[in-house]
Structure 1
């Protein structure tokens, strides 16, 4: 995909007046904390989530504070790729560009479940919806060389053995469920970030927040939540503050964005740097996207996420 012609990446600073930011998974946790901080710096922030109740609560918090920025919210079913496309089309009717795009939507499932479009649910929400959003946003001219893309995933300097999954065999990709599906989604997000600059023209950064106090584990069994609870957790506010620092770094470019975590920036993991794996992922993603759109239209009320 050829990225649309855009102005060069702006040299952002502490203030973000006139900047449009889009945050997926932005009605709760890190996304909500980041939305409020970007709004406080003057940005026009649009958050997308699945819960209308949480969206209203976030808007109420924003409206109660004095700020030169603004915050609006939209609800989208990230399990359905046609819903993601429709959401981007609606955005394109209202805004001209996205300066900051933060992809944070995701789930963590241990059970087997598929979407109404036939895609494994964890992979659909945690990865494929992000791919489809980027594809549609590029097609509609919303993103390009003037966009800073920040993708939240289990990003780290090394790729653990259980996450070293390949995407050259679509049957293998579609067979991964539960923890294997979640691991595949995290690896896919990093591979997509690695390919994003060439594919979309954006300045892309992958970010691994580590163990954060959010609701991501709500679908896990009690013993797993208890085990994870033994480890120190970061607060969403602290993560958001680090993300703001990264997003407003004037040195960002398509060549320097890269990779970061709670301890700062690091070099790309060799497993993720492999361009053949990146191409395999894109090919698999395009086919899964095509299959999802070809599936029968789900009945009203069948929203999963």
Structure 2
């Protein structure tokens, strides 16, 4: 028996890296965890490993491709049709270092890291409110400090920088802004929101970076287990139960970039709603 018995978490992109270690931490404490991602084979392999390690058999797979808004809608429909509770949504899945466009017509990092999670959150948030009290956690990055703002035209075109890192930073800025505005909109519902920097982590988020550079980068990075600590803190700690819309790093609240304003958060929200259509 654990302190999260009876609680249901949905974690995206959790068959490897930070997400997998987040699930491990939740499962060890008795939570039911739904792992949403693209690869059923890899996710079911991760579930077998985590079940063996924690003794928790209440782990499930949900098909989800965040770059395809129809897939996002299908995933939400499947979950909602189950009728089960949802205590915490962890928007963990992320992509970095790859150029291109998503299936739904957005710059690859922005579409995968923000637009898809935005729609998923909108489709599931009433269930979280009904379950309540609940939490919504966005895994962002300190990279958001590098972004000077959001070019609304650029996010609808293919990546232009060679490494797509600048585009990644913009997508992470969007994660922070999303949590801020969502926290404002959910005030009084019992649902709180968080964005966070997990640390520079040697995880599969960098899988598209050239092999040699990726190996060199990982020499200076933390482990996925270390990276999951702040996600678990924001998702479960009673210390932040009354906080909402804030940004965290190393299990501490931190001031986000000066670009993170209520005005920009509101504009991103309005544009995101327009992009995804009716929830």
TM bin, normalised by shorter chain, reads 0.7 to 0.9
Indicate the residue corresponding to 2:47 in structure 1: 59
Distance 1:249 1:203 in 2: 12
Shift of 1:224: 3.6
| Partner SS, residue 267 of structure 1 | coil
> Is the contact between residue 198 and residue 230 of structure 2 (CA under 8 Å) also seen in structure 1?
no
**C-alpha separation between the residues in 2 aligned to 1:279 and 1:286?**
11
How big is each residue's C-alpha offset from its partner over 1:152-206, in whole Å with a ceiling of 9 and x where there is no partner?
11147xx53x412135xx3243246233322211110010011111224431111
Structure 1 position 212 matched with structure 2 position 201: yes
SS in 2 for 1:21: strand
1:171 — aligned with what?
Answer: 153
Partner of 1:225: 214
Q: Tell me the residue number matched to 2:64.
A: 76
Per the alignment, in what secondary structure is the counterpart of residue 62 of structure 1?
A: helix
Query: 1:37, 1:244 within 8 Å by CA — same for their partners in 2?
Result: yes
Aligned residues: 269
Over the residues paired in the alignment, what is the CA RMSD in angstroms?
Answer: 2.5
Q: Contact conserved, 1:42 with 1:69, CA < 8 A, in 2?
A: no
Does 2:269 align with 1:289? no
Q: Which residue of 2 aligns with 1:117?
A: 104
Q: Within the alignment, does 1:185 sit opposite 2:145 as a pair?
A: no
TM-score w.r.t. the length of structure 2 is: 0.86
Task: Pick the structure with more helix per residue.
Answer: 2
> In 2, Cα distance between the equivalents of 1:66 and 1:194?
34
Per the normalisation by structure 1, the TM-score is 0.79
CA contact (8 A) 1:203 1:252 kept: no
CA displacement at 1:110 relative to structure 2: 4.1
Q: Does structure 1 retain, via aligned residues, the 8 Å contact 2:141–2:199? A: yes
Whether the 8 Å CA contact 1:33–1:237 is kept in 2: the answer is yes
Q: Distance in 2 between matches of 1:150 and 1:251?
A: 15
- Judged with a 3 Å threshold, the aligned counterparts in structure 2 of structure 1 residues 290 and 246 are, in CA distance, closer, same or farther, namely closer
Alpha-carbon distance, 1:84 to partner: 0.5
- 1:100 corresponding residue in structure 2: 88
Per the TM alignment, residue 52 of structure 1 is displaced from its structure 2 partner at its CA by 1.5
Q: Do 2:140 and 2:175's aligned partners in 1 also have CA atoms closer than 8 Å?
A: yes
Of residues 35, 43, 46, the one that matches 2:34 is 46
| CA distance in 1: counterparts of 2:43 and 2:17, whole angstroms | 12
| CA distance, structure 1, for counterparts of residue 23 and residue 229 of structure 2 | 11
Q: 1:173 to 1:212 in 2, by over 3 A?
A: same
Larger radius of gyration: 1
Runs of 4+ in 1 over 6 A off after TM superposition: none
Cα shift at 1:100: 1.4
**Gaps (5+ residues) in structure 2?**
none
Matches within 5 A, 1:121-132: 121-132=108-119
Larger RCO, structure (CA 8 Å, separation 6 or more): 1
- Which deviations, in whole Å up to 9, do the C-alpha atoms of 1:255-301 show, x marking residues without a partner? 356221126322344321x111011111221222239x9xxxxxxxx
Instruction: Name the CA distance, whole Å, in 2 between partners of 1:132 and 1:256.
Output: 20
